[in-house]
Amino acid sequence: MNNENKKNMERNKIKLYGRFIIEGYITTLTGLHIGGSNVGIEIGGVDLSVVRDKLTNKPYIPGSSLKGALRACLERAKGLPLVVIAGENKPREERIEIHICKGKKDLNEEEKKKLHEEYLECSVCNIFGVPAEVPYPAYPGRLIVRDAFLKGPEDLETLETLELPYTEVKTEVVIDRITSKTMPRHIERVPPGAWFKFEMIFNVYQAKDIEFLKDLFNAMRLLEDHYLGGHGSRGSGKIKFGKWKIEEMEEIKETEKKNSEENKKAQGEENKCVEKNKKGLEEPVIIRWKRIEEYWGKDTKSSLPVEKKFLPECWDKEKDLTEWLEGIKKELEGVMEKKEKSNTGVSDDKNLQT
């Protein structure tokens, strides 16, 4: 078998080098509505119910909802073109469009090559994945998002100010502009101050995936200033990553207004993001790096730490975190270089190259 055939075989192999496990809490800052089935809702009840866990009856955030919101935020921030993935011949309101490095039909070889190069640089397609029918070799999507389950506060089920277990009912009124006739509708929402426990898995197939991971952090930061779930333009869905006490967060906002100059100075300091936001913060987000060798019970013999704590809103100002990620990237580059030399039969001694 010649070297070219060996290279082609190698391209068809996908090597998993490790996983980043990102976990923590999502805190609701305003009411959260992620719709569920209205089957079983009594007359006079809510018009739009939330999705609930069938075993516990607690509301939860489906992994698909969180993943889709992160993807949409990143697509918009990067200004990426959208393609129709469902309802191609239907009216615009019935079509579904997302970004995929897909291209038109019947591409020639040069166009396929150019599209593949575009894909290799696209963080959206690499993080969230592309369909199997794309006309080029692609890695699996890096990101797995678990369902996020409600974990508190403890008194949420029995809180007297809530109309339903764990949830509030928001009444919205549509008013006819001519007749002034009103049409009320009742929307079920998880109230502000609730905590959902989330977990995301980020698979690493190449050293460059560390750069894609940073864009995932950016997507989390973008989502905090956007909304999760429905009715976001009317007040619902504002969330924050980390476990926060929102009463104390309001105190922080007032303090920052009074001390704007001091706050600006604090924002310029490196490695102080979590400490600066400590008031109101009970738990930041945790990220752990798990090398593939650990799944076989082997010692990795690495001097790098296993985990770091961070907040998406200022992850790039955490010097410990950014240096840690660069250290992992360099480590991966070394492993991949060694693997490439092994596959091509190249020795570390240039005089012994074959």
CA distances from 246 to 155, 190, 232, 239, 272 (A): 15, 14, 19, 11, 21
| Whether this model's pTM surpasses 0.85 | no
Residue 272 pLDDT: 60
Say what the pLDDT of residue 44 is.
47
Nearest to 118 by CA among 135, 93, 94, 95: 135
The whole-number pLDDT of residue 41 equals: 46
Q: Are 23 and 285 in contact (CB under 8 A)?
A: yes
Q: Is the confidence at residue 221, as pLDDT, over 70?
A: yes
Is residue 328 within 8 A of residue 339, CB to CB? The reply is no
Return d(Cα 122, Cα 141) in angstroms, integer.
12
- What pLDDT was estimated at residue 177? 80
The Cα-based distances of 345 to 16, 104, 293, 323 in angstroms read: 22, 39, 24, 33
Separation CA 31–CA 24 (nearest Å): 20
Task: Specify the pLDDT at position 169.
Answer: 87
Q: pLDDT at residue 344 above 80?
A: no
Phi, psi at 75, each rounded to 5°: -60, -45
Q: How far, in Å, CA of 301 to CA of 113, rounded?
A: 39
Q: CA 61, 67, 71: angle at the middle one, nearest 5?
A: 140
Give the H/E segment covering residue 293: helix 292-295
Q: Would you list the DSSP string of 51-68?
A: PB-TTT--BEE-HHHHHH
pLDDT in tens, 248-266: 666 555 555 555 555 555 5
Q: Count CA atoms closer than 13 A to 315's CA, side-chain side.
A: 24
Q: What is the structure's pLDDT at 43?
A: 39
Among 56-65, 135-144, 206-215, 342-351, where is mean pLDDT lowest? 342-351
pLDDT at 237 over 80: yes
**Per-residue pLDDT tens over the stretch 42-71:** 434 667 888 999 999 999 999 999 999 999
- Nearest in space to 204 (alpha carbons), one of 63, 339, 14, 340: 14
Q: Write down the domain spans for the chain.
A: 13-345
Could you give the percent of the chain with pLDDT greater than 70? 81
Task: Give the whole-angstrom CA distance, residue 78 versus residue 248.
Answer: 34
- Using alpha carbons, select from 190, 200, 147 the residue that is nearest to residue 312: 200
Give CA torsion, residues 210, 216, 220, 225, to 10 deg.
Answer: 110
Predicted local confidence at residue 200, as pLDDT:
98
* Cβ(284)–Cβ(275) below 8 Å: no
Provide the pLDDT confidence category of residue 138 given band limits of 50, 70 and 90.
confident
Give yes or no for a contact between 235 and 30, defined as CB atoms under 8 angstroms apart. Answer: yes
